[in-house]
Amino acid sequence: MTALVPRAARRRAGQLASFAEALLTPHGVDRYLELLDPMLVRKEIRGVVTEVRRQAADTVTLTIRPSRAWRGFTAGQYVRVSVHIDGVRRTRCYSPACSQYRTDGLLELTIKADPHGLVSSYLYANAERGMVLELSQPDGAFTMPANRPHGVLLISGGSGITPVISMLRTLVDEGHGGPITFLHYANTADDVLYRDELAELAATHPGLRVAFGYTHEHTGGDLHGFFGTEHLHAVAPWYRDAETYLCGPTPLMDAVRTVFDTAGLSEQLHTEEFAPPPLQLDTGNATGQVRFTHSGAETANSGRPLLEQAEEAGLRPEHGCRMGICFSCTKVKATGCVRDARSGELSTEENEEIQLCISVPVGDVEINC
Amino acid sequence: MTGLQDRLTPEQVEEFGREMDEIRQRLVADLGKEDVDYIQNLIKTQRALEVTGRGLLFAGFFPPAWMAGVAALSVAKILDNMEIGHNVMHGQYDWTRIPALSSQKFEWDNVAPAQNWRHSHNYIHHTYTNILDKDRDIGYGILRIDPAQKWHPYYLGNPAYASVLAFIFQWGVMLHDLEFDRIAKGERTWADTKEVGANMLRKAARQVGKDYVLFPLLTGPLAPLTLLGNATANMSRNLWAFAIIFCGHFPADVESFTEEETENETRGQWYLRQILGSANITGGKLFHIMSGNLSHQIEHHLFPDIPARRYPQIAEEIRASCAKYGLPYHAGPLHKQLFSVAKKLVKLALPWNGEPSDPKPTTLERDKDLAAA
């Protein structure tokens, strides 16, 4: 689209924008435009809700028109969505469920209200047309290679459907030639999200097979009970020659991983965690001092993630998901060693960027915070 | 001068500290949407005044429009620097996690770069409040404002320096971070100033660029009038900020401390020092907002990271606590406090180093031998 705008005009627009920034320094143009209309912002990304649909009892689907800085996403990626709840800006990650080629430029997010989830419950209860959300550019490496695999197996459970249905819709838009199986697990038939859309896709795309597995019912689905090899043989017997994309609750993820590992296919399995893997913390053997250089705060290493230690020391570092996916709490570690509590990976180099929420000090560390 | 330790028994100091901590806890627990709405509305008002002021200067050939424009822009700059900038940069709204209200990201409409200022103000001044040779805000390294500062013939110009500083206050605040006085004394080298210096040049260039080049040029033939208008607005803000800030710590009855008496301070003692070293300015609601609630300097020094709109809410309670422990709670109207500061500046231009009206220990006499030990 930008190619249609003459280069000279674009350059002029760019000059005008930097002139406006120079006039409105130090706050910048967005801080003034947003007061007229939050969607006018140029650098930050906002999204206005254009449609709200509640397709299952605890789920809300939002159609969102992003503001001008939005650059589009790749199927499988997520965006950080921020809302203000009782004065505090809360950020969570959600994967768009639409095709990356959606022509109207709109974005579709499906959010399952977790009774303990502040943001999901808030959105479920309060989302309405005209609501403005703060968005980030898309992020995440759970994507298909540009050179598409021939056979594609998409496995999801519950609200983990969103990144994989985005992949499916994208493949359908591309007129994908190879076989696709979309295997989705839900507790019961009533809990299936996107049932009509999936049926429609299956009807129009010959290579696509959509299969529903009901974990808590014995009839009515294509499959029943929890995932196992027999399910694979039933709906995608060619899975050994395919690339598999998986997103869902931890038990499903574990079950699929075990099957693929045993079959020696772990290279062909690609996953996205919604629920964070449990952090491995060893608070009994923690040693060393943690020093936060900017604030001067210092505390004895408790063995808990640095974000918690910083908060206990009275600091309030910016953060989002608290589980290592949103990178809002990234800070520079000046000296010392920290361990990634998810993977056990060590960061030993000086001046390395680390995520406070999943990093645990190993001995003395200095954090620029 | 009465030592800091002579005021109360150690138990009383800690008891007092606990009372302050309780007030703090209560405030923190109560923070919410109201606080955010307040500051967002204030920002809206400030931006509207700024745009109106700049807009009116396009009609600056018409004297009432010029005057109204300058007035609007002056108020906008005052609000930006004081109730918004100073307070946001203190981290008072960091709990909201809103990037535009983040102490680490906010920049104010002032030539002093936020990053430099946060260090000298939030850390040095607020931690070492009124400790001689530690708190660089005592006289800002150029004035003699405390009798304990050693006299030097240079200080004969004390009142003149202060008057000049009042008019160019934003530049004074900016240059303060070069710590020129410490370079002169050899405690600091020019090389140490490289980063803060670069920040200053960058920030000052942008500020000068908009106020004295771009906006004047935009108004075409009115450029000189616009430049004059912007300069007047900057100057009004300078004078106002100078007045408010000098009344916060420099009126006659406010105390200063030595490094020795504040060594190994407990939290209670720190609170105590904040009370003794600060002075409030009395006035109406609008006055408090225009002063960035620095008119509640005492409450601000007790809880520098609590949203300033909360200070008036707790002022009575703090005052009552002070009365209970026999502590002074310095407060007076602006004109009185200003006069007191001016008198002090003139007096201290001369070698006089007599004690100001020495406050007597107002509560239990502490064991003097213990204090002397």
B312-316 long-range contacts, Cβ below 8 Å, gap at least 24?
A: B312/B285, B312/B288, B314/B23, B314/B27, B315/B280
Nearest-neighbour CA in chain B from A255: distance (Å): 38
- 3-class SS of residue B7: coil
A320: closest CA among A41, A95, A88?
Answer: A88
- Which residues of chain A neighbour B97 with C-beta distances below 8 Å? 88-91, 318-319
Q: Which CATH architecture has domain A43-135?
A: Beta Barrel (2.40)
**Which of A16, A24, A25, A118 best tests the B interface by mutation, with the highest count of B CBs <10 A?**
A25
Q: Please state, in angstroms and rounded to a whole number, the distance separating the CA atoms of residues B103 and A205.
A: 53
- CB-CB: which of A31, A318, A319 is closest to B100? A31
- With beta carbons under 8 A apart, name residues in chain A contacting B34: 87
Closest CA–CA distance from residue A91 to any residue of chain B (Å):
9
Tell me which DSSP letter residue A256 carries: H
- Is position B362 within any domain? no
pLDDT at B75: 98
- The distance of B36 to chain A (nearest Cα, Å) reads 6
Tens digit of pLDDT for each residue in B133-151?
889 888 888 999 999 899 9
How do A151-157 and A180-186 pair as beta strands? parallel
Question: Which DSSP string corresponds to A159-171?
Answer: GGHHHHHHHHHHH
Nearest to A86 among B33, B91, B214 (CB): B33
Between CA A317 and CA A296 the distance in angstroms is 14
Q: How confident is the model at residue B368 (pLDDT cuts 50, 70, 90)?
A: very low
Q: At what angle do helices B63-79 and B33-56 cross, to 10 degrees?
A: 150
Q: Is residue A277's pLDDT more than 80?
A: no
Give percent of chain A with pLDDT exceeding 90: 75
pLDDT higher than threshold 50 for residue A337:
yes
> Residue B5: is its pLDDT beyond 70?
no
| pLDDT above 50 (res A52) | yes
Instruction: Say whether residue A36 is in contact with chain B using an 8 A CB cutoff.
Output: no
Is A80 an interface residue toward B (CB < 8 Å)? no
Q: Which residues of B touch A19 (CB under 8 A)?
A: 214
Write out chain B residues lying below 8 Å of A369, CB-based: none
Domain hosting B246: range is 4-347
Strand, coil or helix: what is B232?
A: helix
pLDDT (average), residues A57-71? 95
Does B32 contact chain A (CB < 8 Å)? yes
Sort B269 into a burial class: Cβ within 10 Å, 0-12 / 13-18 / 19+: buried
Q: B217 in contact with A at a CB cutoff of 8 Å?
A: no
- Please check whether residue B285 lies inside any domain of the structure: yes
Domain A289-368: assigned CATH number? 3.10.20.30
Q: Is the predicted pLDDT of residue B312 greater than 80, yes or no?
A: yes
Q: Taking a C-beta distance cutoff of 8 angstroms, is the pair A132, A38 a contact?
A: yes
Model confidence over B48-98: pLDDT tens digits?
999 999 999 999 999 999 999 999 999 999 999 999 999 999 989 988 989
Q: Does B369 reside within a domain?
A: no
Q: What is the pLDDT of residue B56?
A: 98
| CB spacing of B123 vs A19 below 8 angstroms | no
**Structural contact between residues B51 and A32, judged by C-beta atoms closer than 8 angstroms:** yes
Question: What rounded mean pLDDT belongs to chain A?
Answer: 92
B125: DSSP letter: I
The predicted pLDDT at position B248 comes to 93
> Cβ B210–A27 below 8 Å, yes or no?
no
Q: How far is B211 from chain A (nearest CA, A)?
A: 8
Residue A280: pLDDT over 70: yes
A151-273: CATH number:
3.40.50.80
Q: Does B95 touch chain A (CB under 8 A)?
A: yes
pLDDT at residue B46 greater than cutoff 70: yes
Which of B126-130, B231-235, B312-316 is least confident? Answer: B126-130
Separation CA A220–CA A22 (nearest Å) = 64
Contacts of B203 in chain A (CB under 8 A): 26
What does the pLDDT look like over B211-229, one tens digit per residue?
A: 999 999 999 999 999 999 9
φ, ψ dihedrals at A25, nearest 5°: -65, 150
> Is residue B368 in some structural domain?
no
From B85's Cα to the closest Cα of chain A, the distance in A is: 11
Output the pLDDT for position A231: 97
Q: Which residues pair with A90 in a beta bridge?
A: A83
| B331 within some domain | yes
Average pLDDT value for chain B: 91
pLDDT of B372 over the 50 cut: no
Is residue B208 included in any domain, yes or no?
A: yes
In the block, which residue shows the tokens 């300097």?
A: B297
Record: contact B108-A86, CB cut-off 8 A = no
Q: Which candidate, A26, A69, A14, A71, places its Cα nearest to that of A44?
A: A69
Cβ-nearest to A89 among B98, B207, B209: B98
Quick check: B32 and A26 CB within 8 A?
A: no
Residue B359 has pLDDT above 60, yes or no: no
Nearest CB partner across the interface for A87, out of B32, B47, B218: B32
Q: Does B109 touch chain A (CB under 8 A)?
A: yes
**pLDDT score, position B367:** 37
| pLDDT value for B354 | 60
% of chain B at pLDDT higher than 70 = 93
Give the number of domains in chain B.
Answer: 1
Q: Which of A222, A156, A147, A155 is nearest to A178 (CA)?
A: A147
pLDDT score for A6: 78
Contact assignment for A318 to B102 by CB distance below 8 Å: yes
| CA atoms of B235 and B78, how far apart (whole Å) | 10
Q: Which two tokens mark A7?
A: 């280069």
Q: Does the residue B113 lie in any domain?
A: yes
pLDDT tier at B369 (50, 70, 90 boundaries)? very low
Residue range B175-211, pLDDT digits in tens: 999 888 888 888 888 888 888 899 999 999 999 999 9
Residue B207 at interface with chain A, using a CB cutoff of 8 Å = yes
Rounded to the nearest angstrom, the minimum Cα separation between A109 and chain B is 23
Residue B23 located in a structural domain? yes
Residue in chain B lying closest to A34 (CA) = B44
Range scoring the smallest mean pLDDT among A20-29, A328-337, A354-363, B88-97: A328-337
Query: Is the Cβ pair A25, B33 closer than 8 Å?
Result: no
* Among A159-173, A335-349, B345-359, the least confident range: B345-359
CA angle A16, A18, A19 (to 5 degrees): 60
CA A273 – CA B371 distance, rounded (Å): 62
Q: Which amino acid is at A262?
A: T
CB contact under 8 A, B94 and A316: yes
- Nearest Cβ partner for A32 among B47, B95, B214: B47
CB contact under 8 A, A31 and B95: no
- Cβ of B214 under 8 Å from any chain A Cβ? yes
d(CA A185, CA B146): 76
Q: By CB neighbour count within 10 A (0-12 exposed, 13-18 middle, 19+ buried), where does A27 fall?
A: buried
Highest mean pLDDT of the ranges A325-329, B103-107, B258-262, B300-304:
B300-304
Domain ranges in chain A are 1-36, 43-135, 151-273, 289-368
Q: In chain A, which residues have their Cβ closer than 8 Å to the Cβ of B33?
A: 86-87
pLDDT at A275: 65
Query: To the nearest whole angstrom, how far is the Cα of A59 from the nearest Cα of chain B?
Result: 27
Alpha-carbon distance B44 to nearest alpha carbon in chain A (angstroms) = 7
